[in-house]
Structure 1
Amino acid sequence: MFSRQLFYIHRNIFKNWSKMSTFAQKLNPITGTIDWVVQDANYDYHQEIARAAFADMLHDTERNQKYEQALKIAIDKVHSNGNKANVLDIGTGTGLLSMMAVRNGADSVTACEAFKPMGECAKQIIAQNGYADRIKVIPKISFDVTVGEKEDMEKRCNILVTEVFDTELIGEGALNIFLHAVENLCESDCIIIPQSANLYVQVVESPAAQNWNRVKDVFCDEGKLLLKVPESIKNCAGSSAVHDIQLSQFPRTSFNTIISPTPICTFNWSSSLPFKRLHSIETRIERDGKAQVVFMWWDLQMDCEGKVLLSCAPIWAHPDGRNKSAEEIPWRDHWMQGVYYLPKEIDVKKDEKYIVHCGVDEYSLCFNMENVKSNVITSTLDPPVCNCGLHISFSRTRIGQMSDSRRIKKYVALFEEHLDKDSSILVLGDSFYSALAAVKLGVKKMYFLESNKMSRGILLDYIKANDLENIKIIESLEELKATDLSDVNVVLAEPYFTSSILPWDNLRVLYLFREIRDQLSRDVSIFPKKAVIKAVPVHFKDLYKIRSPLDTCEGFTMGAFDKLIERSSKVDDIVEAQPLWEYPGIALSEGHELFSFNLINSIEQAEYDGSFNIKSDLVCNGIAVWIDWYLTDSTKSNITTGPISPVVVGEKIDWDMHTRQGVTLFPGKLATQIDFSFRIDFKEGNIVFKCN
């Protein structure tokens, strides 16, 4: 009620101004508070456009050209049978496929687009290219399109074209969209583009990938067990959610193939496919090992003659891999590869026969394996369900951090060197379970701030599984402020918070420390001691495309789309989070220190203007930003969220795989210098980084 009243007060005060702007609530990840911010009146859909990265699809030349090839084949075939080519384009976006259809001789084209801003943009683009009288744009989802005299479509289409796919192929509702269209919008002999899709699987042993799914016991350097993972977590089947990554960037040395890439099921889009079904293949194991992970991708048979194939395979399995170099294999971010974690890892022997199962429902996939000798008849496959809380509480990135041996070793070394039986510790942050290892090393007492309810449940499981005592769990900052902390002589943080998105959002630990500073003794120690925000100018091979203007696409003017993207980008954060290990980039200068924080005696506000000196002839199309945490005064104690090896000008940057870095992207600049400004206000919890 209060928030509604506040909104009306603001609306009355700024009555005229609010025709262009509005107030919106936004979580401040550093302070943890909900702030009111002024936004464009169309903020919601502008942000949706900015974060959807539509431009990436339109920069996908292979995708565009193969769709057009399939359209030409279909239109020519319909014409050769003496019929008019009536095309329906579902989810037209910019109208690209509709314009391709007209260019290749379609007699009528109907395009539907449910997202109103994109529908209006499509109309503008179609008009700019001279096709306004040839293409009818309907602002509806395809399920609401009507057929008949004076309806949306006068008659059913005999060519249906659509791109409604994601990493899982069917995650955007492709099964239902095709089924409804075939039954209600298409003629009986309608040509569907694409015609069909094939799913492929590769079963591997990969401890590196398994780090994103399973957490590890904590040991000291001598091999003594300090903290064991609760059985509820060890035995959990995990989450069914796909982990989509740029699999071509996953190191080939990080996995061993148990079952080579093989097709497991086919989707024929013109037939009625049941939404829930099981596909199975029998195959032989290729090597001894553990079956842990399933890599998945798909391809599209685009045309009705079987001539045009569009593959999303990683480099090592791509059908063009023999004829093209890795650099020539098309890059796309809208269709990545999927990683699925088997509910239980399976010990396998070479030449054993196994059945690989693929369970399909309306929107998702799941996988499992069983030995042929088990004589178990599997008729259905339900997706795994997390019952331990870990897999539904934290991202794959966060689980990877919990399993990162380098990170864990540095914390254990810190515990052994700086903590003893007289240490009374306050732990700040979310899900810092490995801090419990300090209790096994004999510290006096531990206060553990854990504000996330799910995470508290996991914390209690850890405490119970390890028979730990003298731990007080505190559920909120308010409760912490009301707690007597006079005996605390060590404050310990990872730092990590579930609300964090950008690297510097975890500076919330500094905000929390300030809130309770007066409750602590003057000589209290805090770890980490220092945080350093760093940045480097980068030449990204492909990532820049998700924010890059088009100008033209396959010969069509895209000015209206570029303007829409530009307007939408202004309402979203300039710096976005990306797992940069997935996106190759060349360093154009050494790493640059933007700001350094002493966590005990940090400042309230700071401004810093500077320049990156570009030391390469490559264009700069992005600035990467990260934060380094120094647990102690030693550089060896550094836990980085950025490069894991020294940044060398002109060479590929080797990024940490267990964190997301910040990045600001822009059209390529050939420059010797790029200016930037950095602003920080800890009182308000605001950090701003801009490049000129």
Structure 2
Amino acid sequence: MSTFTSRTNIVTGNHEWVFVDDEQFDYQQELARSAFADMLHDHERNVQYEKAIIKTIDTLSKTLNRIHVLDIGTGTGLLSMMAARALMKTTCSSRITAVEVFQPMAKIAKKCIEKNGYHDRIRVIDKRSTELDLETDLQGDQINMIVAEVFDTELIGEGALRTFSEACKHLTIDNDNLRIVPSRAIIYIQLVESPFLQEFHTLKNLSKDEKRIRIPLDCRHLAGDTIFDLNANEIRDRLRPLSKPIPVFHFNFKSVDDRNNFTEEKILENIQCESDGQIDAFVMWWNLDMDEDGEIQLGTIPSWCYDDKDKAQHIQWREHWIHGIYYPQKPKAVKANEHVNLYSFHDEYSLYFDVGSSPFPPRSFTPAFLSRSAMSGFNNDQRRQKYVEGLQKSFSNSSIHRCLYIGDGLLLPLLVLEMYPQIELIILESSNVHLVQTLKAILENSSSQLSYRLIPTFEKDHVDLEKIDMILSEPFFTKSILPWDNLHFYYLLHQQTQPLNMKLFPQKARIRCIALEFDHLHKIRSPVQQCCQLDLSPFDEQILEASLNVDAIVEPQSLFEYSSKKPTLSPIIDLIEIDFRKNYQDKLEKNHFDIPITADGICNGIAFWIDYQLEEDLWLTTGIETENDSWATYSKQGVHLLLKPLKMRAGMKLSINAGFDFHQGQFLFDTLS
């Protein structure tokens, strides 16, 4: 059996389907990209679940002769094995049914359960819990204990409400004798001021007076109204809480309200603001009562909400549960001690919030046309200033009258029209029709004195390149995933038969890298080995095999969300330089590099990115901003996580091979040591 997988072809700028002759590829890809390993590295999660399981079984065993545990979404079988271990200490007869809809994971669960000697106590069924039949699947043996970890960043995004509701209705004994781990949940939000978070949501004007370019209100929220998943602990210094934590929704998993298809809507009145500011966003998190007494807790509370500073500094890092960022329809200025009303809504899978005065406007569910990082790219002041400086240098030559813009970025063409209204700007329409519509709407809402036209193709009846003085690009294309995917700009240039005699902006690109010791990011690919004294090596073996078979050696990550040791282990190393004026044709270049290690540490990752030369001595980065030693927020970086982290000392070298296949448009990389 054969299958296909998708990748970005930077030569054509399109996603393409690549033939893979492996009947297991689709399963392996899902396994490799799953967050199972990250969950299993979550020590706090595992410990609190086991504490609650032991306590619940101990409580039930005092009144019941038989305990039947249902483990929903068993994964590796970890929670089922915890239950089996606890049940062995009771005199009750017992049975454990573990369900896992993802068949490759169900097979792994069976192997882990057998490895630990619990195969005669746990039955694994590979189907959804909502599809279980009491008679045929459970032989009429009703459940009196449910264990489930079916939560995501929003708590309910994986269908937790229906999962618990259906199990309680159709598979269990009466609720008085039923126990669920976890028992209850509360969703909290906090009102925060954060111009930084607003950068990921609302397009900023190019100038205060909106002299020429004016962005209409309905073009400002191109990333839509969906949740922005973010580890808010990493941006603590870029937000300011304006209220205390607000409990919004309460869920008792034994009695989930399934009226109106699990929807709930409420207005919380008189929420007090603690200080002056502007409500730019809502930070959302949740907390679980793991047992019915609420003695054992597990949640995603942000670090700044802890009274105990030591606990705040040692908060559990996790990737599978982070924080949700939501936005009001309009930011709202408030004063200290002012009271506001909070509108809150949830359906079966998602949440929505707004703040203001009643009546609230209708809920707005705007679809996403741009990524959050692309929104940040439009708004980032440092990036804007680099473009302004570059344009000022480029247009200091008065011989430039007619320019051509290529790419999906909105910032650069609008900046040119804002700064140089005398320039005729020809804009090659994006393949993203939504961006074309947005650009047209902005231009139609702007000054009538602007000189521009949009063209659908490069064909000569649309544009004569011999009459173009300058070609510009950010470069940015919405289909790009890794930083160098935006080199599609280079391929568009060299598809033309005319010589590139005009000025180019940017002129060159360089791919760079640095060796790092991540504090936590490497854990998403690290083997688990043992978890709570249970051997999960069958899981490690399967995940490692899947990753080696299907994963790209370099993956995209937004590194501003992940801390790493300071100082970095190495200086920045230049790997490849590309002059956009040169045609490299089918050249394949791969060279050996020794990365000098300048600090002691454990190298567990190498980060890659691309810089663009806008003008002589003026470079724009998509990686480390050297001015403030921080990662750019407006682009994902490429990351290679080492399968075996290396202990390094200053003076040592890390050997790699890196290069570029210009025919395929592929970055080439492998480690040597």
Same fold (TM over 0.5): yes
In the alignment, the residues of structure 2 paired with residue 261 and residue 685 of structure 1 have an alpha-carbon distance, to the nearest angstrom, of 49
In the alignment, the residues of structure 2 paired with residue 564 and residue 443 of structure 1 have an alpha-carbon distance, to the nearest angstrom, of 62
Q: Which residue among 562, 567, 571 is the counterpart of 1:583?
A: 562
The Cα shift of 1:35 comes to 5.4
Amino acid in structure 2 at the alignment position of 1:682: F
Matched with 2:44 is: 62
Matched with 1:192 is: 180
SS of the aligned residue for 1:631 comes to strand
The question of 1:657 aligning with 2:633 is answered yes
In the alignment, the residues of structure 2 paired with residue 675 and residue 453 of structure 1 have an alpha-carbon distance, to the nearest angstrom, of 44
Q: Note closer, same or farther for the CA distance 1:354–1:491 as it changes in structure 2 (3 Å cut).
A: same
Matched with 1:504 is: 484
Contact 1:283/1:353 (8 A) holds in 2 = yes
Matched with 2:474 is: 494
The question of 1:565 aligning with 2:543 is answered yes
The Cα shift of 1:443 comes to 4.1
Contact 1:340/1:366 (8 A) holds in 2 = yes
The Cα shift of 1:208 comes to 1.0
Q: Note closer, same or farther for the CA distance 1:187–1:318 as it changes in structure 2 (3 Å cut).
A: farther
Matched with 1:650 is: none
The question of 1:228 aligning with 2:214 is answered yes
Q: How does 1:451-466 map to 2 (within 5 A)?
A: 451-466=431-446
SS of the aligned residue for 1:369 comes to strand
In the alignment, the residues of structure 1 paired with residue 379 and residue 671 of structure 2 have an alpha-carbon distance, to the nearest angstrom, of 35
SS of the aligned residue for 2:670 comes to strand
Q: Note closer, same or farther for the CA distance 1:508–1:39 as it changes in structure 2 (3 Å cut).
A: farther
Contact 2:236/2:304 (8 A) holds in 1 = no
TM-score normalized with structure 2 length: 0.91
The question of 1:341 aligning with 2:324 is answered no
In the alignment, the residues of structure 2 paired with residue 383 and residue 51 of structure 1 have an alpha-carbon distance, to the nearest angstrom, of 33
Contact 2:225/2:368 (8 A) holds in 1 = no
Contact 1:195/1:269 (8 A) holds in 2 = yes
SS of the aligned residue for 1:164 comes to coil
Q: Which residue among 553, 556, 563 is the counterpart of 2:534?
A: 556
Amino acid in structure 2 at the alignment position of 1:141: R
The Cα shift of 1:300 comes to 0.8
Q: Note closer, same or farther for the CA distance 1:575–1:237 as it changes in structure 2 (3 Å cut).
A: closer
The question of 1:108 aligning with 2:95 is answered yes
Q: Note closer, same or farther for the CA distance 1:506–1:454 as it changes in structure 2 (3 Å cut).
A: same
Amino acid in structure 1 at the alignment position of 2:225: S
Matched with 1:243 is: 228
Q: How does 1:162-561 map to 2 (within 5 A)?
A: 162-188=148-174, 189-219=177-207, 225-234=211-220, 239-252=224-237, 254-274=238-258, 275-281=262-268, 282-318=270-306, 321-326=308-313, 328-371=314-357, 376=358, 383-386=363-366, 392-419=368-395, 420=398, 422-440=400-418, 441-449=420-428, 450-466=430-446, 467=448, 469-476=450-457, 479=459, 483-516=463-496, 518-520=497-499, 522-561=500-539
In the alignment, the residues of structure 2 paired with residue 454 and residue 611 of structure 1 have an alpha-carbon distance, to the nearest angstrom, of 45
In the alignment, the residues of structure 1 paired with residue 164 and residue 469 of structure 2 have an alpha-carbon distance, to the nearest angstrom, of 64
Amino acid in structure 2 at the alignment position of 1:302: M
Matched with 2:91 is: none
In the alignment, the residues of structure 1 paired with residue 320 and residue 578 of structure 2 have an alpha-carbon distance, to the nearest angstrom, of 38
Amino acid in structure 1 at the alignment position of 2:10: P
The Cα shift of 1:32 comes to 2.2
Matched with 2:670 is: 690
In the alignment, the residues of structure 2 paired with residue 27 and residue 527 of structure 1 have an alpha-carbon distance, to the nearest angstrom, of 24
Contact 2:265/2:345 (8 A) holds in 1 = yes
Q: Figure out how many residues of one structure are paired with residues of the other and give that number.
A: 646
In the alignment, the residues of structure 2 paired with residue 290 and residue 421 of structure 1 have an alpha-carbon distance, to the nearest angstrom, of 46
SS of the aligned residue for 2:82 comes to helix
Q: Note closer, same or farther for the CA distance 1:680–1:525 as it changes in structure 2 (3 Å cut).
A: same
In the alignment, the residues of structure 2 paired with residue 615 and residue 583 of structure 1 have an alpha-carbon distance, to the nearest angstrom, of 21
List per-residue Cα deviations over 1:638-663 (Å, max 9, x = no partner). Answer: 2111111279xxxxx62112221110
Unpaired segments ≥5 residues, structure 1: 1-18, 648-652
The Cα shift of 1:422 comes to 3.9
In the alignment, the residues of structure 2 paired with residue 619 and residue 292 of structure 1 have an alpha-carbon distance, to the nearest angstrom, of 39
Q: Note closer, same or farther for the CA distance 1:481–1:431 as it changes in structure 2 (3 Å cut).
A: farther
Q: Note closer, same or farther for the CA distance 1:585–1:78 as it changes in structure 2 (3 Å cut).
A: same
In the alignment, the residues of structure 1 paired with residue 211 and residue 570 of structure 2 have an alpha-carbon distance, to the nearest angstrom, of 43
In the alignment, the residues of structure 2 paired with residue 212 and residue 462 of structure 1 have an alpha-carbon distance, to the nearest angstrom, of 19
The Cα shift of 1:436 comes to 2.7
The Cα shift of 1:468 comes to 5.3
List per-residue Cα deviations over 1:213-243 (Å, max 9, x = no partner). Answer: 11111139xx884522223325x69733100
Q: Note closer, same or farther for the CA distance 1:24–1:643 as it changes in structure 2 (3 Å cut).
A: closer
Matched with 1:5 is: none
List per-residue Cα deviations over 1:408-458 (Å, max 9, x = no partner). Answer: 122222223322474211111103343233234134422212221111001
Contact 1:359/1:382 (8 A) holds in 2 = no
Q: Which residue among 587, 601, 619 is the counterpart of 2:582?
A: 601
SS of the aligned residue for 2:87 comes to coil
The Cα shift of 1:26 comes to 4.0
In the alignment, the residues of structure 2 paired with residue 168 and residue 153 of structure 1 have an alpha-carbon distance, to the nearest angstrom, of 35
Q: How does 1:82-121 map to 2 (within 5 A)?
A: 82-105=64-87, 107-121=94-108
